[in-house]
Structure 1
């Protein structure tokens, strides 16, 4: 565990007070100014250093509809908040390969969520985390390696597969998979732990069969987050109040 993660894991860490609407306003401002060539508003919050994610959602015009994901990228490497939020606001808006780049005409339908990450722990198994409390970061080797790698646990599993895996190739020996989900994703999707892990395995890029042997080979790092969300209307009022125009 890094020094930053150790500090974040302490009871009463300052992440709580640092998860502020101003972080979302700063992220929104970075996107707005990038799309309109406007002058940015200076950040006015403590410049701590944290792992972070910036999420863009599109709000539905129909009442009762949940916002739709428009982009979400972050980093588990601690970042200075002012530069990190501005950078990842643009990365998630323009470089999330799942979506087209956000365009200026979409701004008024957007909301921005900033997540600051804390309490990183290595899970004892792929089920050693709590839905609604933890996010997960998973990694696993190419399943072909499971035939020659030691079992991650000596305890028998009633779900284990007895089928033989293909022999690993030079390419598969070098290949590994990884993916992550923020803490709010599993409850939003209605997933239990198994469904969330299987979805993360797919998100990591594995398209083959998901066996119990594969699940047991997955290394899970669990973590918690503090997050804040603001709408375009809230951002526009903030920018106007600070001397900017929209």
Structure 2
């Protein structure tokens, strides 16, 4: 059966409002799958029936492992932090994450039967004063920080970096940004500091990570309602709604 799940939220966490589990529905994932299927096969899309509310959202594609018990493998994940109508936004990012995630090749038609789709709708944004003011399994994080200039250590190139040049006026004005959805830290087994440092690397900083750098971070925490469906569930839905596969 198609599942609607909230991403490992903790209702007992003080001061945090749990996102409505009804916010994200299987129909949202079916709409994403339909956008991809029709793009790859030139088929006619099934008319959507869900409300066209506005949310920031992410669409994630995963490939199921052929070995029982193995976790699915990420195949593409892109989203938008600006609230947008769900009908347009889900369809757009279903294709963007399938075809334009620079970490992966474009998804091809032969891969469809092994795909799973997750849609995450982001809620409850809060700006916080400390990079540690969030809860693993409850919050996603969005970090931003300027080019570090607080110490000579921060300005030194990393031994792993290919760049040996000193910072320029242009790089000093650069702002680094990155995000992790709420499920990422628990899935990876990271604590808060490991998550923050990984996000710093994800943002593109290759130099030394100092405590001054961490404290320069502006962090926005958010929550996520998540829904997941498989290819088989999508096929049943499409046939039940008069489509062919």
The alignment's TM-score, normalised by the length of structure 2, stands at 0.86
Question: 1-side partners of 2:216 and 2:63: how far apart?
Answer: 36
Question: 2-side partners of 1:12 and 1:59: how far apart?
Answer: 29
Q: Does 1:115 align with 2:114?
A: no
Q: How does 1:73-92 map to 2 (within 5 A)?
A: 73-92=78-97
What SS is found at the alignment partner of 1:128?
coil
Deviation at 1:213, TM superposition (A): 1.0
Residue 212 of structure 2 is matched in structure 1 by 213
Question: 2-side partners of 1:43 and 1:10: how far apart?
Answer: 32
Residue 5 of structure 2 is matched in structure 1 by none
> Where does the alignment leave 5 or more consecutive residues of structure 1 unmatched?
1-8, 148-161
Deviations 1:13-45 (A, max 9, x none): 7x5323100000000000000000000000011
Say which structure is richer in helix. 1
Deviation at 1:198, TM superposition (A): 0.5
Q: How does 1:84-233 map to 2 (within 5 A)?
A: 84-143=89-148, 145-147=149-151, 163=153, 165=155, 168-233=167-232
What SS is found at the alignment partner of 1:18?
coil
Q: Relative contact order, CA 8 A, sep 6+: which one is greater?
A: 2
Residue 152 of structure 1 is matched in structure 2 by none
CA distance change for structure 1 residues 229 and 164 in 2, over 3 Å: closer, same or farther? closer
Question: 2-side partners of 1:80 and 1:12: how far apart?
Answer: 22
> Where does the alignment leave 5 or more consecutive residues of structure 2 unmatched?
1-14, 157-165
Deviation at 1:170, TM superposition (A): 1.0
Q: Does 1:44 align with 2:43?
A: no
The alignment's TM-score, normalised by the length of structure 1, stands at 0.86
Q: Please report the RMSD computed on the Cα atoms of aligned residues, expressed in angstroms.
A: 1.9
Question: 2-side partners of 1:90 and 1:164: how far apart?
Answer: 38
Question: 1-side partners of 2:128 and 2:190: how far apart?
Answer: 18
